[in-house]
């Protein structure tokens, strides 16, 4: 049994609190175990310069941590005067992933701004951000739909993300918490749709390597976790699911 | 009656949720009406270079807003690469105010880091930050006291902050919400202790002025509000109050 | 008697040298004791983006110190690559104060740039900047008036600023020099018009507090100082006074 | 046949020019088709602060493109005043990959600085950088070994990198050039050792997804390419190979 | 004889490799002894804002060194987040010099971007950059001419640059390498046309001075070197020379 | 006759106001015609890291313009967040020039900070800065000498700077004012000692060139101007001259 009593293929408890903050078009507080992220989706009626006139929309994500989301206080990036490489990498990952399930033409010349602010961190903040941001984005787009600003619902699939890794004691495990993340040498982020297709796969052997067989085990664990996460997203979204399901007609 | 039904001298509903985030030594979510701020207090066992060897402690505050704490999304300061003048002014105000009720010698060579992160804004974010940060600071210092890292409790007084202003329709009013803040030309932040002494007084006539009589009315409203806020702080802090009350012996 | 021989309610000697630098529309060298500030006012025939199309003008202030205006050499902000919080706070204070006596509609879509450059500092640089900048602004606006670019003179009142504080030895005193400023725990900046109305009031107990009675004494000292400063501004401005006095018709 | 006449599983011509620049301890110009990268490895006899006293070494990589390495001129990052997210992501990838085949304890408290400067770009610059940087790093470490500064040779495996992707016309293909990279929606970077173990796997469906079967085909193409690249590295390194092979004793 | 066997008035071996990189309109690798610089000239069909509507073109230069172009590794300017004073001075020098032999009206509203990237440094990188950039600029402008985008060839003269200095042992010498540059107290950069006219003359006595007689000797050495460099430029440019020679008709 | 009535070889009126600001060890307001620069010299009892332990001193210069020193208001470099290339070039020139007449060993491990702040600009601000900064430096070093902190006076020569140029109408002229500076294509800064030796010579043909004969005429004009400037420096410095003259013993 793992340090928090879970089996190798078990997710931590996951909760979505919808409409957590009042101003954004979509707002969700996601908890994955002790990791808590406020995911806000905002709609802006224009796109970045390189997209203007294309008739297509865009999704941009920003990610940040409160200084005391972690055990040790971190220096704010605004105080440093620059965004770190790690933050930029996560921001690019979140926005790229969400774009994979958005029909940008149906969205029209609009930007969806995704803000993921980690208020408490215990491992897996980037995958929790993606899983929560997807729900916030559905809320924001549903609002556009209700207001008749878009005719066809542009989100094509459910999308969730989780991490897997190779623990020195328990071998392949699902959904790493902070302690586990610190002791595994191989960890992988898997982002998948409800049709079981990969959107992103990032496996890293930090000062280590992994074999094809290990990769296969990791992918199976990941797929199991994603299915459970999407099940929970659907439960949280309730009536909104129907909007997305319509894509299959 | 004001736009939210309050009388001229009424505060909005105020709540303190203690230990909101798990890592910081002191953590409080303060709500003042629809304004919500996470106030975290962290203890670091050293002081900035200019204080080293003085035997005295220090308090530093940082303030930030989530991009979508407001009606319109704001650009993150980390993205801009610099902290705005408004933010710096608020940070300096928070730390200066808290230092007025801290015996820095009794604190010893330690820094208390105060992080105020506004997750939802509806006017009065800087005064809510101070009122909440005081409570978070008590929790953090109480932990130092329980761990026997300090012998005498160094916080000398309760401290709270509120805003007052001159409304074109209702004249002098207490605790301005965002709509009121936008229409008043004169607004004033008052920061006071439980002994009725001023720590800070900042009155501004934006494109306007105010007379000595108006000032007196504003100060009376402010004093009433501060007394109520300190009453609520005491209720929230429960057993911890005793630590501060000891100063009077 | 204070360290420079003044009584508690005495200003230091104040001089205005008009047209100190030749290029600006308005230029004044103000001396308040040993504090010397070059105050330049420039007119630009457009406003910042957020004011365009409003038909109203704007006032923006910048404040800086020569590195060796002070006893110890300071690092230039251009070398640091950023403007400090203190500087931003002062800049916001200067521009806000001047806007309180400017009818921005009568000014029309123009920006008045105020540059306050401290060449020698001995306490009270921000209040000297405001008092001097007001005079420079009158000169610049008078030039607009002479050139028939504006029909009605838009400055509505005289404006001056001074500091007051509570000295450990002499109690409440007026117009603090550097040594006094360093030893007082409470200091307050008062900005007022010739009608005795407050434009700004900023009282700070750095690691200290002050009572309502002390506040009242400070306000009386401040009002006395402001009246004397405005008298000196009028003497320096000579014929230009008439332009402002017309507001009362 | 692909746009440059290659079959689906063919690499572009690859060359290594050793000792390309005279000052660095290891220097290689790698060409992969029209993509050309100068890879320099420098040895510094100290480690970053967070590693001091650990007895272990470190590898840091920097990546840059000449402004006119590409069809359209790019703005230099030094002119922009900051490093882009893409550059940071590549730098982190290069250094993490090289660390996976370096025994940092055997290296001792030294930093290997890897500089990859792209002088001509035609797709695959990050994988060419890793493949070339490995060779430069071998040269630099061999120099340490010849100078008897390290007793055991610390590089444990050969390492190379390539890209694979899914082309709308040719399906899964190996080693994408710029035109191919622009038209594929799925692309993947694979970094592997000579033992067929993964060091890093980054697959991305930009506005697209990929199935488990497609993943398997991509991994096979990638493995074939890596084997060929390592064969060419060995040919280029000649006598130095023996140093690395010794790891198997 | 000097440390590399040259006489006092001898240049190091100079080579030009044309079309070194494929994308730029003009590309040259210049070697002056062990100093190697990639000089790329790019054509952009617009000018900076301050030149718009003038009917004239512009030349902008950027200069950079690979971190390991030198004996000790240098920190990249993109990592520092700013361009050093030395780099800016060199960039301004290169662009100013090239503009002296360009008829900006004949060039039309276009910008020639000059990028000089030093891949190996052994003294004289700024003069080698100018000598090489001139050749790259001829290639880029010849391409404009061949494409009939300009009717008259706008380059009016050949241009080359070299350094001279006063060595403690050998007195006045031509074309300083790095070791010589480090030991001379007086060094001078001379930039001249094929008509023997000065474009720029920068003589500096770093912690030293020089007399009028020494200046004259330095100028004669410089003129001899420039003549030889222009001879080599002509040889490298072959058929393109004729375009420039036409100016004399 | 030139636009201000001078002959070709005439300087503008030059004045030195010593001890202009009270805090710096040396302070001078220099006027060269309408150009006015505050030159302050500060002494710091340590040197930059690269000089520590060398037993030698250092001179660092900073140069800045008030935003309204010029006809059009300039943006402050602190607001831009960076120092321009022009400013850096001037700062490097000032400090390099002053070091040429300073015996850094006799100065000991101290830094002389030179601050040149232009309060009114009418051409020749960099040469006025050098001429004025030399006088401020003498005052600061004389103070060190009077305080017996240095045994031998370390300044070895008088030093002054002026500009010369080729005017389209008047040919070679001395000491260009702003209007002249704008219309000449060739201008040259000459920095010389009282022994007639060059410290720096910077001649630039902006979009133009100059012959050897023109150079000779410019050098003669410059030498005449420098001699007059040094004569005025001596008059201003009075008793201090003797300290410098002692070098000839």
Residue with tokens 């878009």: A150
- Are the CB atoms for C189 and C202 separated by under 8 Å? yes
- Are the CB atoms for B223 and B217 separated by under 8 Å? no
- Are the CB atoms for B156 and B102 separated by under 8 Å? yes
Chain A contact probe: residue of B23, B123, B178 with most A CBs at under 10 A: B23
- What is the 8-class DSSP label of residue A109? S
Q: D145-162 burial, b for 16+ CB within 10 Å, e for fewer? A: beeeebeebbbbbbbbbb
- Whole-number pLDDT of residue F243: 84
Q: Can you tell me the distance from the alpha carbon of C147 to that of C151, in angstroms, rounded to the nearest whole number?
A: 10
ipTM: 0.93
Chain F contact probe: residue of C68, C86, C129 with most F CBs at under 10 A: C68
C-alpha gyration radius of chain A: 18
- What is the 8-class DSSP label of residue F201? E
pLDDT at F245 over 80: no
Do F73 and C21 count as a contact with CB atoms less than 8 A apart? no
Angle (CA) B187 B192 B198, round 5°: 85
Report the run of H or E that residue F195 belongs to, with start and end: none
Binding-site sequence positions of B for phosphate: 86, 124-126
- Whole-number pLDDT of residue D206: 80
Do F89 and E85 count as a contact with CB atoms less than 8 A apart? yes
Q: What are phi and psi of D41, to 5 degrees?
A: -115, 125
Contact E211/F at CB under 8 A: yes
Q: What are phi and psi of E39, to 5 degrees?
A: -110, 115
Nearest-CA distance C97 → chain B (Å): 8
- What is the 8-class DSSP label of residue F138? H
- Of E38, E67, E120, which has the smallest distance from its Cβ to D66's Cβ? E38
- What is the 8-class DSSP label of residue C153? -
Task: Using CB atoms, list chains with 3+ pairs below 8 Å to chain D.
Answer: A, E
Q: Can you tell me the distance from the alpha carbon of C110 to that of C116, in angstroms, rounded to the nearest whole number?
A: 19
- Are the CB atoms for F204 and E200 separated by under 8 Å? yes
Instruction: Quote the tokens at residue E111.
Output: 């910008």
Tens place of pLDDT per residue across chain A (249 aa): 899 999 999 999 999 999 999 999 999 999 999 999 999 999 999 999 999 999 999 999 999 999 999 999 999 998 888 888 899 999 999 999 999 999 999 999 999 999 999 999 999 999 999 999 999 999 999 999 999 999 899 999 999 999 999 999 999 999 999 999 999 989 999 999 999 999 999 999 988 899 999 999 999 999 999 999 999 999 999 988 888 865 544
The answer to whether D247 is a known ligand-binding residue is no
Residue D242 burial (C-beta neighbours within 10 Å; 0-12, 13-18, 19+):
exposed
- Whole-number pLDDT of residue D82: 83
- Of E100, E104, E206, which has the smallest distance from its Cβ to F209's Cβ? E100
What percentage of chain F carries pLDDT values higher than 90?
89
- Whole-number pLDDT of residue C247: 55
Q: Can you tell me the distance from the alpha carbon of A39 to that of E218, in angstroms, rounded to the nearest whole number?
A: 69
Do A23 and B69 count as a contact with CB atoms less than 8 A apart? yes
Q: What share of chain E is helix, strand, coil (3-state, %, to 5)?
A: 35, 30, 35
The mean pLDDT value for F72-80 works out to 90
Task: Please measure the distance between the N-terminal and C-terminal CA atoms of chain C and give it in whole angstroms.
Answer: 44
- Whole-number pLDDT of residue C1: 83
The edge-to-edge listing of strands for the beta sheet with E198-205 is E171-174, E159-167, E186-193, E198-205, F198-205, F186-193, F159-167, F171-174
- Whole-number pLDDT of residue B239: 86
Which chain B residues have a beta carbon less than 8 Å from that of A23? 68-71, 120
How many Cα atoms within 13 Å fall on the side-chain side of residue C239? 4
Instruction: Quote the tokens at residue D242.
Output: 């023996």
Q: Can you tell me the distance from the alpha carbon of D157 to that of F71, in angstroms, rounded to the nearest whole number?
A: 67
Q: What are phi and psi of E178, to 5 degrees?
A: -60, -45
Q: Can you tell me the distance from the alpha carbon of C116 to that of C134, in angstroms, rounded to the nearest whole number?
A: 11
- Are the CB atoms for F37 and F119 separated by under 8 Å? yes
Do F206 and E99 count as a contact with CB atoms less than 8 A apart? yes
pLDDT at B38 over 50: yes
Contact E213/F at CB under 8 A: no
Interval D149-192: pLDDT, tens: 998 999 999 999 999 999 999 999 999 999 999 999 899 999 99
Interval B167-182: pLDDT, tens: 999 999 999 999 999 9
Interval F24-36: pLDDT, tens: 999 999 999 999 9
Report the run of H or E that residue E99 belongs to, with start and end: helix E85-99
| pLDDT confidence bin for B224, thresholds 50/70/90 | very high
pLDDT at B97 over 60: yes
The mean pLDDT value for C67-71 works out to 95
CB under 8 Å to E33, separation ≥6 — which residues? E4, E12, E13, E122, E123, E124, E175, E177
Q: Are strands D111-120 and D58-65 parallel, antiparallel or unpaired?
A: parallel
CB under 8 Å to C91, separation ≥6 — which residues? B85, C61, C62, C63, C83
Do A198 and D206 count as a contact with CB atoms less than 8 A apart? no
Which of left, alpha, beta for E80 (phi over 0: left; psi -120 to 50: alpha)? Answer: alpha
- Are the CB atoms for A69 and A120 separated by under 8 Å? yes
- Whole-number pLDDT of residue F249: 42
Q: What are phi and psi of C119, to 5 degrees?
A: -95, -20
- Of B89, B196, B209, which has the smallest distance from its Cβ to C199's Cβ? B209
Q: Can you tell me the distance from the alpha carbon of A2 to that of E62, in angstroms, rounded to the nearest whole number?
A: 56
Strand partners, E40: E27, E115
Please choose, from the candidates A31, A5, A36, the residue with its C-alpha nearest in 3D space to the C-alpha of residue A173.
A5
Q: What are phi and psi of E175, to 5 degrees?
A: 60, 75
Instruction: Quote the tokens at residue D142.
Output: 């061999």
CB under 8 Å to E50, separation ≥6 — which residues? none
Contact E129/D at CB under 8 A: no
The answer to whether F125 is a known ligand-binding residue is yes
- What is the 8-class DSSP label of residue D13? P
Q: Can you tell me the distance from the alpha carbon of B165 to that of B187, in angstroms, rounded to the nearest whole number?
A: 4
- Are the CB atoms for C112 and C1 separated by under 8 Å? no
- Are the CB atoms for A9 and A110 separated by under 8 Å? no
Q: Which of A202-216, D113-127, E107-121 has the lowest mean pLDDT?
A: A202-216
- Of D42, D78, D115, which has the smallest distance from its Cβ to E64's Cβ? D78
- Are the CB atoms for F34 and F122 separated by under 8 Å? yes
The edge-to-edge listing of strands for the beta sheet with B111-120 is B14-18, B26-32, B35-44, B111-120, B58-65
**pTM score of the predicted model:** 0.90
Strand partners, C152: none
Residue E63 burial (C-beta neighbours within 10 Å; 0-12, 13-18, 19+):
buried
CB under 8 Å to C247, separation ≥6 — which residues? C153, C155, C156, C157
């Amino acid at each position: 049994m793992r340090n928090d009593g879970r089996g190798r293929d078990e997710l931590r408890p996951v909760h979505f609190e919808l409409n957590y903050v009042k101003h954004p078009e979509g707002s969700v507080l996601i908890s994955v175990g002790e990791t808590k992220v406020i995911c806000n989706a905002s709609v802006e009626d224009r796109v970045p310069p390189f997209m203007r006139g294309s008739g297509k929309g865009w999704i941009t994500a920003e990610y940040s941590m409160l200084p005391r989301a972690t055990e040790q206080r971190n220096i704010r990036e605004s105080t440093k005067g620059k965004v770190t490489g790690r933050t930029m990498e996560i921001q690019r990952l979140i926005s790229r992933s969400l774009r994979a399930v958005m029909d940008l033409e149906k969205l029209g010349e609009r930007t969806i701004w995704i803000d993921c602010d980690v208020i408490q961190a215990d491992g897996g903040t980037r995958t929790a951000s993606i899983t929560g941001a997807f729900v916030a984005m559905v809320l924001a787009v549903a609002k556009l739909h209700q207001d008749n600003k878009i005719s066809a619902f542009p989100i094509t699939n459910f999308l969730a993300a989780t991490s897997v890794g190779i623990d020195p004691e328990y071998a392949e495990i699902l959904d790493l918490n902070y302690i586990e993340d610190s002791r595994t040498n191989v960890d992988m982020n898997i982002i998948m749709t409800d049709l079981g297709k990969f959107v992103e796969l990032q496996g890293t052997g930090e000062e280590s390597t992994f074999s094809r067989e290990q990769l296969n085990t990791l992918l199976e664990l990941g797929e199991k976790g994603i299915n459970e996460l999407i099940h929970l997203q659907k439960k949280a979204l309730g009536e909104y699911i129907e909007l997305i399901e319509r894509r299959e007609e």
